[in-house]
Amino acid sequence: MFGTGVAAGHPNMQARLNQAIAQHNPNYKALYVSWNDNQRQQGSCWGSNITDARLKGKDGEDFLVVRPNNFNERIGRVKASDVALLVGSGTSLRPVTLEEYLRDFHSHAAYAGSVPAGTSLLSATRDQSVGMRFQAVFLPVASHSSLFGFPGPKAKEFYPDTCNYQTKSWEDPRNLVLLCTSQGTFVQQDGPGSVPQFLHSSEPGGWRKKYLEAAATRHGVTMGQTETAEERAEALRQGKAASTVIGTRAMGTGFNRLMTVQIPMKQQRTFGTNNLFGGPSPTAWAPTFPFSTTTSNCFSGGPTPAAGPCSGAPAPMAFGNAPGACFGGFTNSLCQARAQSDSAHAARVSTGSDAGPMDRLRMERFERDEGCSVTITVQFYFLVREGHSIDESDIRRAVDICEEAYKGCSWDGNLMDAGFQSAFAKKDMTPSDTMNLLSPSSSVLVFPGSDSDVQKSTWLQPPWPSTLSNCFDPLAGLDQDLKSLLCKVPCTEEGYGWLHGTALSLLEKKQQLDAAFHIFRLANDLHLQIHGLPGSHSLYNMACCQAVAVSLQIQQYRSACPGAFDLASCLQVPGRAGGVVAPHLPPKPAFGASVAMLCDARLDAALGLLSSAIGAGWRQHAHMATDPDLQSVRELRKPRFDVLVKLAQTTAQAFA
């Protein structure tokens, strides 16, 4: 699971990150500037609603965004009624559809400015076709990681910064903008030049702007996050985001998303359409915007003249306080010394610290531009440790999450594909256009040779089960309700994350260790199906299940038989000493076997699984040496355990 990694703070970080992405999916790139365009002509960077966006840290950093290529980006299409967002706050928080929000815009947005009563921004026809794009972001955070996540309240504060080229004044914006998180929806507008965007909070002195905060969690790189009851309660107690529905149905529930919605508004001042980005005349824009057919250059650090509305942006920094900083000011030599591969974790995106008084809406007219569709940009946030590289498997997984999100749309395609018509184009696709694009001719629907007399494979019959054994059951050790759920798990990284998270919650509680073991086993199998390699995390945690079961079995035996002073003295059968802990955990105890024999077998199994985990890429030897879940193995199999810790350390050094 742990690859060579990409040093997030390396001077060539963008190039190295893109190299890893290109090997997995060349349709994606890591960029400092994203084209969040709403309406653009095919085959060009021209359009009547063009927006550049970047992601800024509170301390001035610029962050890379992993996304489909800007010029020929991938676009999904959904109905406004198929997108969920949150309204209200605190205990009154509730989900509504984007369609409902637009229809009742006044009641939701009146807090932000003088929105006329009864204002609706819903377009009955246009909002049947909403454009969606999906992106992933890795943010650096100062923290010490462990197998089960980041301890401590470490977080990174940030905000989006956008520039819409058609907005020339605060009174006449091209778009209203919604920032949507698991804590609510916050309305703002485009303005002239570069406009920072924030969340909002009602406080005794009035409405305030708030940075976004990305806090570390134990969850890995997955689209959705399933919280334990305790985890959710603690987040809410601290006033932080909890997992909710937000986005499309296929996105499930999560707390690591930021959804930015652009609602096109009818402007009082109109612009020509024969120039770059809709400027007023073929000559007026030339001194201001350097023409480029491949970049929408608002924040890219190029030679944008000072007169440009979005000029003055600092050069991008590689996740640090200076160019080449290794997540916060390290020299190149220190970067190289600390460029160790490290796993990323899902960020809890919540309301952060204060950024000043809220900027109220200053627009004079609230009229929807029905010639232009709403567009949504969804970003999935993940945290990585400062000074460490991003594990390449996590980079690949983040790209796959975006791909899965696109597949959850009713339709998706690339903007520059021949015949493509999307929510970005000037007319929507007709049903016949859609069928022409999606339905190949009947001749390619049939697998070659299916009409011929193909011999069907014949299989040898398996041996008949004896009276002392059962038929093989891939879902053995699990109750029927859980089996029904497992049959629905998608063969994706999100499916793997769900399996791993479900099992991990049981292991952390030291409950149903047999079920946890078998779910980890299935997670490992799914990892094998996706990557062709076993999952080191799953194998390691299977060993933890065995070791914890031994510890609980000994504690139970000592309560029933206080005279036991070591494992060899646990001579009673489990039935006379409280029963078998985790009865469906392999290996099955032989008839008449003592507790000592049962524990010996499970300790051997734990050691074998640890060895397999190291072979599959487990490198966290320091955590392994002190992991409380492995106490029984560490004490009762010390010589062999020490050898495995040394092996993990040696392997980690070899691959550093």
Q: Which residues of 78-110 are buried (b: 16+ CB within 10 A; e: fewer)?
A: bbbebbbbbbeeeeeeeebebbbbbbbbeebbe
Q: Decide: 12 and 397 in contact? Cβ < 8 Å.
A: no
**For residue 209, what are the CA distances in angstroms to 63, 138, 187, 352, 648?**
21, 24, 11, 9, 48
Global pTM reads: 0.57
Q: In angstroms, rounded to a whole number, what is the distance separating the alpha carbons of residues 348 and 223?
A: 12
Q: Kindly report the length of the chain.
A: 656
What per-residue confidence (pLDDT) applies to 36?
Answer: 64
pLDDT confidence of residue 70: 66
Hey, what are 476's tokens?
């053995």
State the Cα–Cα distance between residues 322 and 57, nearest whole angstrom.
Answer: 13
| Degrees, nearest 5: CA angle 223-226-231 | 130
pLDDT of residue 47: 63
> SS3 letters for 516-560?
HHHHHHHHHHHHHHHHCCCCHHHHHHHHHHHHHHHHHHHHHHHHH
If you write DSSP's letter for every residue of 203-223 in order, what string do you get? ETTEEEEEEEEEE--S--S-S
Helices 513-531, 536-560: axis angle to 10 degrees equals 170
At 427, is the secondary structure helix, strand, or coil?
Answer: coil
Residue 92 sits at φ, ψ, to 5 deg, of -90, 5
pLDDT at 295: 36
Residue 234: the pLDDT is 92
pLDDT at 416: 54
**Residue bearing tokens 């160019």:** 323
User: Strand, helix or coil at 59?
Assistant: coil
Radius of gyration of the chain, Cα coordinates, nearest whole angstrom: 28
Q: What is the predicted pLDDT for the residue at 146?
A: 40
* Structure tokens belonging to residue 35: 């084209």
Q: What span, in angstroms and rounded, lies between the C-alpha atoms of 405 and 256?
A: 14
pLDDT number for residue 34: 81
Q: The tokens 């499930």 sit on which residue?
A: 252
Helix (H) or strand (E) holding 484: helix 480-486
- 15-48 burial, b at 16+ Cβ within 10 Å, e below that, comes to ebbbebbeebeebbbbbbbbbbbbbbebeebbbb
| 3-state SS, residue 412 | strand
For the chain, domain boundaries: 6-422, 484-654
Cβ–Cβ contacts within 10 Å for residue 568, how many?
Answer: 10
CA angle 155, 161, 162 (to 5 degrees): 150
Distance CA(247)–CA(235), nearest Å, equals: 21
Pairing of strands 130-141, 375-385: parallel
DSSP string covering 243-292, please?
Answer: -EE-B-GGG-EESSEEEEEEEEB--SS---SSSGGG-SSTTTSTTTS---
Q: Is residue 17 within 8 Å of residue 350, measured between CB atoms?
A: no
Average pLDDT, consecutive stretches of 10 residues, N- to C-terminus, the chain (656 residues): 40 75 92 71 58 90 88 84 90 91 95 94 92 93 50 78 91 95 95 94 95 94 90 91 92 94 87 38 31 35 37 36 32 40 88 96 92 93 85 92 92 59 42 40 31 50 59 77 82 89 93 94 92 93 96 92 88 90 89 91 96 93 94 94 94 83
User: Measured between alpha carbons, how far is 425 from 131 in angstroms, rounded to an integer?
Assistant: 10
CA distances from 146 to 47, 267, 345, 401, 623 (A): 48, 52, 11, 23, 7
Cβ neighbours of residue 311 closer than 8 Å, sequence gap 6 or more:
304, 305
Q: Which of 243, 187, 237, 183 is nearest to 213 (CA)?
A: 183
> Token match 């009276």: residue?
467
